[in-house]
Amino acid sequence: MLSDTASPVSLLLALILDQVLGEPPNRFHPVAWMGTAIGIARRWAPRQGRWGPLAYGALLVLGGTAGAIGAGLILQQLLFLLPWPLRWLGEACVLNITFSLRGLAHASGEIRQALEVKDLEEARRLLSWHLVSRDTSQLSASQVAAATVESVAENASDGVVAPLFYYVLGGVPAALAYRFVNTADSMLGYRDPTHFWLGKVPARLDDLANLLPARLTALCIVLGALIPGNDMRQAWRIWQQDARRTASPNAGHPMSSMAGALRVELVKIGHYRLGAGQPPPAASDITRAVYLLYATTALAVALLVLLLGIP
């Protein structure tokens, strides 16, 4: 059901604020506070057995999500006390912290620049620092480019489109709740022995939360591939062909459509191969992916406003 508190003005203002101001420093960033709280709670998690870590992880993510919703409701009520122009601006400021479009584009651009000057070590470092948690020390230049393009595609969904999607559905409380679930998954949803059971519920809840946004993002990538130099028909074909080749039920959708749109092969060795047979990506393909990221965001916002009927 569409939120009766979501405002297209606030939505657009949040996008403008993101481009003009970017993200606040971590010490002032509520999402960083979420991460700190999850990190502290993780220290007290049971280490042995299955049911203790499983229950603890469930309580952590469900309790934190409830807290995010509660904070969002309080903020929403406070904003209702303001006249409309200030309410729109205040809501945009809160919404702005739940997504990162400029930050994703900037991080990708830094990696591209390092690749262009043949500084592979720096490109690997930046990739690991900004975008991925896996070991990057042995990646080739093409593999670094591929990982960057994959991250742009995946984060287009869970870092940009999904928070806006939940804002439209449930206002500020829903956007903050989504951000907490996604943060919990990013910190706990690993398959190593320490996190396997602890992160099980956060990971499954994040999968459920991203079910629709990931597919909406993939569709918008396909439509955005009308940009000259991209391939809309190939984006659709590879999306339909390869979306289920990843372990995640959602990540393969935007990544496969991006592989088709750019006409490149995206490979994570031992895990998946998307757009098999296409050329491996180069540094210039990161720039194309970022252009497509902005087109995807614009289309997603337009579709959310149109299809969900914000007055």
Secondary structure of 90-102 in HEC code, one letter for each residue = HHHHHHHCCCCHH
Burial zone of 241 (CB within 10 Å; 0-12 exposed, 13-18 middle, 19+ buried): middle
Does 150 have pLDDT greater than 80? yes
Work out the burial of residue 47: count CB atoms within 10 Å of its CB; fewer than 13 is exposed, 13-18 middle, 19 or more buried: exposed
151 pLDDT band (50/70/90 cuts)?
A: very high
Residue pLDDT, tens place only, 209-255? 999 999 999 999 999 999 989 999 999 999 999 999 999 999 999 99
Summarize pLDDT for 127-145 with one digit per residue, the tens.
999 999 889 999 999 999 9
Reading the block at residue 182, the tokens are 């996604």
Q: Mind giving me the DSSP string for 138-199?
A: T--HHHHHHHHHHHHHHHIIIIIIHHHHHHHHHHHHHHHHHHHHHHHHHHH---STTTTTTT
**Could you give the CA distance from residue 92 to residue 230 in angstroms, rounded to a whole number?**
32
Enumerate residues 6+ apart whose C-beta is below 8 A from 243: 218, 252, 253, 256, 257
Which residue type sits at 250? Answer: N
How many CB atoms neighbour CB 267 within 10 A? 20
Q: Which of 196, 222, 206, 236 is nearest to 299 (CA)?
A: 222
- Judge whether residue 26 has pLDDT over 80: no
Query: In angstroms, rounded to a whole number, what is the distance separating the alpha carbons of residues 234 and 226?
Result: 11
CA distance 230 to 263: 7
Taking the C-alpha atoms of residue 204 and residue 279, their distance in angstroms, rounded to an integer, is: 34
Least confident of 3-12, 66-75, 268-277: 3-12
Return d(Cα 83, Cα 267) in angstroms, integer: 51
Does the pLDDT at position 311 exceed 70?
Answer: no
pLDDT of 28-67, one tens digit each?
Answer: 788 889 999 999 999 999 988 999 999 999 999 999 999 9
pTM for this prediction: 0.93
Residue 288 has pLDDT above 50, yes or no: yes
Q: What's phi and psi for 273, nearest 5 deg?
A: -140, 115
Confidence band for 269, pLDDT divided at 50, 70 and 90: confident
Residue 4's pLDDT band (cuts 50, 70, 90): low
Please provide residue 22's backbone torsions phi and psi, each rounded to the nearest 5 degrees: 70, -155
**Greater confidence, 32 or 124?**
124
pLDDT attached to residue 193: 87
- The span from the CA of 217 to the CA of 299, in Å, is 9
Closest CA to 54 of 243, 195, 239: 195
Could you report the per-residue pLDDT of 154-193, keeping only the tens digit for each? 999 999 999 999 999 999 999 999 999 999 999 999 888 8
Q: Are 288 and 183 in contact (CB under 8 A)?
A: no
